[in-house]
């Protein structure tokens, strides 16, 4: 089963990398960009075939390693189901 875990900064957490990207885009002529928040995407192949167990295991992975739960949120998305 394949999954995508998306990790983003919580709202209210300063994002200097996002600000730098926004500034760089402005200097390249992309003036319509209001703000940018950067994050991380993890594409994970997991051997689990049960979607509920896979989601639970991926949640544990995110909370223990992939995301800093103090300043980041995460979202787990299964992209291939049991019929794979």
Domains in the chain: ranges and CATH = 2-79 (3.30.1280.10)
pTM for this entry = 0.85
Question: What tokens were used for 5?
Answer: 């875990």
pLDDT class of 83 with cuts at 50, 70, 90? very low
Q: What residues contact residue 57 under an 8 Å CB cut-off, 6+ apart?
A: 46, 48
What was the pLDDT predicted at 74?
A: 98
pLDDT class of 10 with cuts at 50, 70, 90? very high
Q: Give 30-81 pLDDT, tens digit per residue.
A: 999 988 999 999 999 999 999 999 999 999 999 999 999 999 999 999 997 5
């Amino acid at each position: 089963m394949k999954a995508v875990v998306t990790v983003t900064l919580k709202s209210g957490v300063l994002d200097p990398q996002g600000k730098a990207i926004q500034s760089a885009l402005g200097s390249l002529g992309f003036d319509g960009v209001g703000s940018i928040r950067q994050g991380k995407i993890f594409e994970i192949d997991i051997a689990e075939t049960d979607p509920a167990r896979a989601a639970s295991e991926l949640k544990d992975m995110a909370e223990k390693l992939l995301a800093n739960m103090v300043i980041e949120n995460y979202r787990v998305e299964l992209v291939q189901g049991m019929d794979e």
